[in-house]
Amino acid sequence: MSPKILIIFEYQILFEILDEIHKSLNFKMINCNKNEYKNIQFDPKIDYLVISKKNINGVKNLLVLEDKIIKLEKLLEIININFLKNKFFKQSNIRIGKYNLDLNSRIISFKDKKLDLTERETNLIIFINDKKNVTIKDLQKSVWDYSPDLETHTVETHIYRLRKKMSDFFGDENFILNNKNGYSIH
């Protein structure tokens, strides 16, 4: 399980309350102001959650409390739920070249353009991306669960359709490439 850090942004009283029970918390805390926040070196292996009284532009994983009166138990529950949501979101999004692929919604995106994929297209992209230079036989066996010796053009047809979809929507003619070693994603 990756370490969790709660960044308490310009909310001194909250930091003091939580600091009194810090030994019973399942996350570490950082108390900071605007300038200190800019200097934080975010480690991708650590789950971060920022908590503040107000909305902060450009801050990811932000929990805004807006001076609400909340029981401590409820606050800790909200914090832990937000850590879980962030972890789930982080695990469901993977980078495929210049694209982001959301495994839950099966949407591939680049900048503000989003394209829906089928389950098979998603599996195809993930397998080719993970393995690099993948042969048709590899795809038949691992993605379709077909015998590698089966004569079929299913793989080529799906790859053709996926290439066309990516080309029509994103203008990407080179999303899936094929060379003598097999298929790869660029």
Domain 97-185 fold: Arc Repressor Mutant, subunit A (1.10.10)
Average pLDDT for 27-39: 94
DSSP codes of every residue in the chain:
---EEEEEES-HHHHHHHHHTGGG-SSEEEEE-HHHHHT----TTSEEEEEESS--TT-SSEEE-TT----HHHHHHHHHHHHHHHHHHHHHEEEETTEEEETTTTEEEETTEEEE--HHHHHHHHHHHHHSSB-HHHHHHHTS---TT----HHHHHHHHHHHHHHHHH--TTSEEEETTEEEE-
Q: What is the pLDDT of residue 145?
A: 72
Question: In this predicted model, what pLDDT tens digit does every residue of 113-157 receive, in sequence order?
Answer: 999 999 999 989 998 988 888 888 888 887 777 666 667 788 889
pTM equals 0.57
Domain boundaries, the chain: 4-93, 97-185
CATH of 4-93, one of 3.40.50, 3.30.1490, 1.10.287, 3.20.20: 3.40.50
